[in-house]
Structure 1
Amino acid sequence: MNKILVIGCMITFSLQVNAQNDTTARNLNEVIIQENRIQIPFSKQSRNISVVDRQQIETSPARSLQEVLSFVPGVDVRQRGVSGVQADIGIRGGSFEQTLMLLNGIKLSDPQTGHHMMNIPIPLVNIDRIEVLKGPASRIFGQNAYTGAVNVITSLSDTRSLRLQGYGGDFGMKGINLAGSLPAGKYKQNLAISYDESNGHQYNSDYQVSNIFYEGGLDLNANNAIRGMIAYTDRTFGANGFYTSAFPDQWESIQTTLGALSHTFNDQSFSINTRLYGRRNVDEYRLRRNEPSFYQNNHTSDVFALETNGSYKSKLGVTGFGLELRKEQIESNNLGNHERSLTGIFLEQLVNLGEKTDVRAGVYSNYYSEYGWKHFPGLEVGFQASKALRLYSGIGSSFRIPTYTDLFYVGPTNIGNPELQPEEARSFEFGGKWTHASWRGELVYFNRYSESVIEWTRTSSELPWQPQNFNEVAFNGVEASAYYRVNPNSKTVQVKELMFSYNFIDANFTSQPGLESRYALTALRNQLIGGVLVGLGEKVEWNTKIRYVERISLDPYFLLDMRVDYNRLGKLGCFAEASNITNTDYIEAGTVQMPGRWFRAGIMVNLE
């Protein structure tokens, strides 16, 4: 363990810094879910949504967004290595290609491959909250929101602040995170920088990850505002077992750049947001790290998009509308040079039927240059049975287009299929939300049926994997969760948060005889997550997290993680984390053996 960090913790414990109230302990029912058109408070949503706020992010035993998401019910995180150097995210048994990632509503999907979905150029310290929408989200966010969507939210501050974190740990792990807010008159701006590195927990698993994120915003007057953002991430890592176990010296280096500019007009009855954004991803992959001439892929993908989204309040309710223009292109020595364009149209209506019932219906229609017109309707109904209990139900359609890797990749163990068609699914869910005092609970059943899921298959272990459109796939699942939170007080020992969730998914695959499936039979079956955050006095917080994960045809595993914070909200604090305390032997993705018991510790400086 890094001696400097340990000494820093000892010094911090000797300081007498006044405790601060945890301003992140907001009322979740009042949080407005950041969809692109009709925005509804969490308490009035007729969807299965999880929100991870700043307090949960800061107290979780996690150093990356990927690790934070692993504690969200119904989300299946499959890491290759530690600290989120690369991870695949699935929702409700879906694959990593079927989840849409967003940053402040901006789509981060990459036309090359879903493996780049989590190349999010923002340090964890700058995230305000994370919204996870489970179920079909194409009507809300468009293409590729097949089984759900994850929206990472940042916020601009009115006050000056500076936050600095440094840490070190096993495997030569060390990192530093810096986030500052420096408003100048009416102009608000944030800057965040981070750097993380490790020697790796096994042979050829070292990594270096750098992030820089800047955003600014200006309120022009009471109705108009502009906001801009530019971000960059560089991820370079040894990729032992990432894509095949036959070549332990795999290596990859990825650089992602994101820029966006938006304008918002808002008055009492009408609002509209127009934004322009672009994303570039540069990917260099080597089968042998020090022999690029043996086998090397170089890909550069670009996405350019213009979106307009708005809402109008009238006697009929709230009308949402939107238009999306998107162009995707790639230059690659393996996949070739390709481009495609999309036009999408959104239309939806929210209507209140009396005081207890509301209906929200809409359709997303798009035209892809390669596949023509597709239409995806959806409907949600909510019923406020009592002050504490809300019942809801919904149906919807979703789809995902093949990536360029699905279509054109040529390699020693994988080969694409240019005849692939988009995935399409029909989904249904029914659930109930219960809220009383400091408690919140939810129970939901869902069903998803598809006749065209894209799955990598092969007929023999001696042949390469190739994607096919499956004939028939059905998912049925149940999610149950309970959550408790209270504001901190002066008690010597206080349970601040308590959470428990259980997910069960039954997957029924009908495939052609003699075909071996690569991803379908690794879908989530049973998932149990528990956690308790205990306050010890005014300054110490102790968070314990457990996870039990079982996937189809794979061995189940149990993980225990802990984190202790001292003076987290004060001027100077420190923390210590222990991951996989039970020293469990497990694999989440590919053939990457995850580490056994390991530790991290660090210091935090908060200045205002």
Structure 2
Amino acid sequence: MIRVVQVALPALLFSLSTVSSASDEIHAVSDEVSTIVNEDVSNDIEKITVESSTTANTKPVGTFGSPVSNLEYDPRVDLQSRNMAEAQADVTIRGGIFENTGFRVGSATLLDPQTGHYFAEIPIAQEMLSNANVLTGADNALHGVNSSVGTVSRNWTPIKTAGSASIGAGNNNFNLQRIHSGVSMALGDSTDWTLGLEGEFSRSESDGTIENGDHDFQRASARIQLVGPSSQTDLFFGSQDKFFGWPNMYTPFNVNETEDLETQLLILNHKQEYAQDSTFEISTYYRNNKDHYVFSRENPDIFEAFHETDVKSIALSGRHAQTASFALNYSTQFIADSIKSTTLENNFTSRHYYKLSVLPEYRMDLHNDQALTVRLGAAFDDTNRDDSQVSMIGDITWDTINADDTSQTIYLSYAEASQVAGYTAIGGSDSGGLFRSNYNLERETTKNIELGLVLDRETWRLDSAIFYRQDNDLTDWTYSLSSTSARSANPVDIDTLGLELLAVKRFENAEIITSYTFLEKSEDYGAADIDASFYALNFPDHRVTLGVIWHPSDIVEVRVDNEWRKQEENILRNGDDDALFTHLSLKVSPSQIKGLDIVLAADNLWDESFEEIPGTPGRGEQYTISATYNW
């Protein structure tokens, strides 16, 4: 939902569009914002879209940035990493599992058919994308594809004439090199059309924060952008190669496992504004992902697997405003995938996905600057291998703008969503092997009801929500003490009760971002031989985050993120069920050299050994120093 506040200034009239979390998202306000400016020459009104981050830090410590960087400190997301977040990370939202979370760029959800472990393998430089917008409830049901709980959504940013070069070093023999540059130029004598070119190359390596936790990453990405008075077109290509190791990465058998991932991504995206408050966006992409998994790096012949997946997709989404009070929100996507594998069976190697959702919207203006918005619609999901599903979507939002430009929002939403299992869960052997599939898995369905309150004041903001979700036939990976398999795919019915609170307080030279989340689950596997759950029952009962941004002077900036959690007990977890993580950075920008930033950073400052995934060792301490020259 977009709320527009108009503020009169001596020379210009500005329209600040701030993203509200009223429907389904939580947004904090940060003094580090990205702005997108479109000037309307006819009436001298400049529209500025203000985005913000829900974490204090915006860059990782142990490598270069990726779409999952710093999500572990985002109060909306629970990130469970192997090695580090940028190596392999399971992104979960509101107590779901990694395969319930989608990643959306433009209007398209990026999919890996083998497993949700690789959803976040997206070789795009972070300068090219907006901050993460976490869609849940009705917005996820509208825009998400095969992601029944939540979607991490990002948009393509306008290219700016700017660039940077970075080098970094740290403990564990860490080193990093990175260069990024963009240029935007007017086409001919026209000021309405611009052509932009942007590219980056990044690499990092280290011995790892624990033994056999080494990594060697590199990424190259580039795009061409054409911007008109009411449109933006982006053509992007990216490629990345990641090797990393970790003990017990996927199995609890005390071996040193490794992964080698190669990902290529080609995207064409076009966004068009038209008429009054109407827009559509069309995205098409091709993604290729190669995975070489080794069970034991000392004895590779014991077990290794090669997978290659191809995904082709086209997606369309938009909002058509018929009148000032009625609009139609819509989203549709088609995906075709295939897999070549040495360990998955040959009878399930391709699938087509179809998604169409329509959400009509009616807005009523009430007295005293109040408005009531009602949305009610449905989504249709289908594949060429599974049963189809029709899901209901709806919400009611009551917005109030006060005389001092403060606001409050109350909303109630109900949303249904569904998805199908990945190939590792349904396409492999069901009688042996490290990862045992289940041929009887059915389409997963989710029902979510939510009540929320948002208070937005001059120097503080509060986002709050309470929700209840029912997941039926959720595909979980479980463990039996009597089994030789590391993991087995099994369906489970789970009811989840959750509470989310996020508060932001702004001072003259500082900002505080804090949150609290609570989750409670009731599960039914319908089987007696399940001793532990790796994912569905791996969640924090209580979780607190605290972020601080402080500018003690013009040349010094301090950023710190903290996360404390009390995790649900699990028989596979070694050590405590509670943990405290801290990410600290100190940036110095000497006035003698304009454009130079020197950053000292630390992650896992207290050397917390908490196992984010039961049976998989947690990460260790990482300290780095880096220098970046910006132009």
**1:100-139 equivalence runs, <5 A:** 100-135=102-137, 137-139=139-141
- Point out the more displaced range, 398-407 or 381-390: 381-390
SS at match of 1:70: helix
State whether structure 2 residue 518 is matched by structure 1 residue 516: no
Query: For residue 40 of structure 2, what is the aligned residue in structure 1?
Result: none
Query: For residue 168 of structure 1, what is the aligned residue in structure 2?
Result: 169
State whether structure 2 residue 206 is matched by structure 1 residue 190: no
Query: For residue 318 of structure 1, what is the aligned residue in structure 2?
Result: 327
Cα RMSD for the two superposed structures:
2.5
In 2, Cα distance between equivalents of 1:203 and 1:583: 14
State whether structure 2 residue 581 is matched by structure 1 residue 566: no
- Point out the more displaced range, 231-240 or 582-591: 582-591
State the 1:120 CA deviation.
Answer: 1.9
> Is the alpha carbon distance of 1:511 and 1:502 closer, same or farther for their aligned partners in structure 2, counting shifts above 3 Å?
same
Query: For residue 19 of structure 1, what is the aligned residue in structure 2?
Result: none
Query: For residue 448 of structure 1, what is the aligned residue in structure 2?
Result: 469
SS at match of 1:201: coil
Query: For residue 602 of structure 1, what is the aligned residue in structure 2?
Result: 626
Query: For residue 155 of structure 1, what is the aligned residue in structure 2?
Result: 157
Query: For residue 81 of structure 1, what is the aligned residue in structure 2?
Result: 83
Residue identity in the other structure for 1:255:
E
State the 1:82 CA deviation.
Answer: 2.8
> Is the alpha carbon distance of 1:50 and 1:461 closer, same or farther for their aligned partners in structure 2, counting shifts above 3 Å?
farther
In 2, Cα distance between equivalents of 1:458 and 1:401: 21
- Pick from 268, 271, 285 the counterpart of residue 279 of structure 2: 271
SS at match of 1:49: coil
Contact residue 143 and residue 331 of structure 2 kept, 8 A: no
- Point out the more displaced range, 502-511 or 460-469: 460-469
Residue identity in the other structure for 2:382:
Y
In 2, Cα distance between equivalents of 1:580 and 1:383: 41
**1:248-263 equivalence runs, <5 A:** 248-263=255-270
State the 1:599 CA deviation.
Answer: 1.1
Deviations 1:393-451 (A, max 9, x none): 10001122100000123463321012111211100110100111121111110110122
Contact residue 396 and residue 428 of structure 1 kept, 8 A: yes
State the 1:279 CA deviation.
Answer: 0.8
In 2, Cα distance between equivalents of 1:244 and 1:323: 37
State the 1:462 CA deviation.
Answer: 3.1
State the 1:369 CA deviation.
Answer: 0.6
Which one has more relative contact order, counting CA pairs under 8 Å at least 6 apart?
Answer: 1
Sequence identity percentage: 20
Deviations 1:159-191 (A, max 9, x none): 421112221111111112222111243211221
Query: For residue 533 of structure 1, what is the aligned residue in structure 2?
Result: 549
In 2, Cα distance between equivalents of 1:225 and 1:599: 40
Query: For residue 468 of structure 1, what is the aligned residue in structure 2?
Result: 490
Residue identity in the other structure for 1:204:
N
Contact residue 138 and residue 399 of structure 1 kept, 8 A: no
Contact residue 80 and residue 590 of structure 1 kept, 8 A: no
In 2, Cα distance between equivalents of 1:285 and 1:245: 16
In 1, Cα distance between equivalents of 2:84 and 2:444: 31
- Point out the more displaced range, 422-431 or 566-575: 566-575
> Is the alpha carbon distance of 1:61 and 1:123 closer, same or farther for their aligned partners in structure 2, counting shifts above 3 Å?
closer
- Point out the more displaced range, 435-444 or 322-331: 322-331
SS at match of 1:239: strand
In 2, Cα distance between equivalents of 1:453 and 1:119: 23
State the 1:112 CA deviation.
Answer: 0.2
Deviations 1:363-386 (A, max 9, x none): 211221111321122111111245
> Is the alpha carbon distance of 1:385 and 1:322 closer, same or farther for their aligned partners in structure 2, counting shifts above 3 Å?
closer
> Is the alpha carbon distance of 1:117 and 1:370 closer, same or farther for their aligned partners in structure 2, counting shifts above 3 Å?
same
Residue identity in the other structure for 1:604:
T
In 2, Cα distance between equivalents of 1:552 and 1:77: 15
State the 1:202 CA deviation.
Answer: 2.2
State the 1:109 CA deviation.
Answer: 2.2
State the 1:461 CA deviation.
Answer: 3.2
In 1, Cα distance between equivalents of 2:579 and 2:279: 48
In 1, Cα distance between equivalents of 2:149 and 2:426: 21
Query: For residue 15 of structure 1, what is the aligned residue in structure 2?
Result: none
> Is the alpha carbon distance of 1:581 and 1:291 closer, same or farther for their aligned partners in structure 2, counting shifts above 3 Å?
closer
State the 1:503 CA deviation.
Answer: 0.1
> Is the alpha carbon distance of 1:136 and 1:248 closer, same or farther for their aligned partners in structure 2, counting shifts above 3 Å?
farther
| Structure number with higher strand proportion | 2
Query: For residue 38 of structure 2, what is the aligned residue in structure 1?
Result: none
In 1, Cα distance between equivalents of 2:536 and 2:85: 26
SS at match of 2:248: coil
| Structure number with higher helix proportion | 1
Give TM-score, length-normalised by structure 2: 0.84
> Is the alpha carbon distance of 1:420 and 1:83 closer, same or farther for their aligned partners in structure 2, counting shifts above 3 Å?
closer
Query: For residue 562 of structure 2, what is the aligned residue in structure 1?
Result: 546
Query: For residue 417 of structure 2, what is the aligned residue in structure 1?
Result: 398
State the 1:247 CA deviation.
Answer: 5.0
State whether structure 2 residue 301 is matched by structure 1 residue 298: no
Residue identity in the other structure for 1:334:
T
In 2, Cα distance between equivalents of 1:257 and 1:373: 31
Query: For residue 359 of structure 2, what is the aligned residue in structure 1?
Result: 348
State the 1:59 CA deviation.
Answer: 3.7
In 1, Cα distance between equivalents of 2:332 and 2:590: 43
Residue identity in the other structure for 2:521:
A
- Pick from 60, 67, 78 the counterpart of residue 62 of structure 1: 60
Contact residue 313 and residue 334 of structure 2 kept, 8 A: yes
Deviations 1:13-68 (A, max 9, x none): xxxxxxxxxxxxxxx9669xxxxxxxx95137422333685575784462444341
- Point out the more displaced range, 239-248 or 118-127: 118-127
- Point out the more displaced range, 66-75 or 527-536: 66-75
Query: For residue 389 of structure 2, what is the aligned residue in structure 1?
Result: 374
> Is the alpha carbon distance of 1:143 and 1:60 closer, same or farther for their aligned partners in structure 2, counting shifts above 3 Å?
closer
> Is the alpha carbon distance of 1:568 and 1:510 closer, same or farther for their aligned partners in structure 2, counting shifts above 3 Å?
farther
State whether structure 2 residue 612 is matched by structure 1 residue 591: no
Equivalent pairs counted in the alignment come to 562
SS at match of 1:111: coil
State the 1:156 CA deviation.
Answer: 2.1
In 2, Cα distance between equivalents of 1:295 and 1:256: 23
In 2, Cα distance between equivalents of 1:342 and 1:230: 24
> Is the alpha carbon distance of 1:544 and 1:307 closer, same or farther for their aligned partners in structure 2, counting shifts above 3 Å?
closer
In 2, Cα distance between equivalents of 1:153 and 1:175: 27
Contact residue 100 and residue 148 of structure 1 kept, 8 A: yes
Unaligned runs of 5+ in 1: 1-27, 32-39, 489-493
> Is the alpha carbon distance of 1:136 and 1:224 closer, same or farther for their aligned partners in structure 2, counting shifts above 3 Å?
closer
SS at match of 2:297: coil
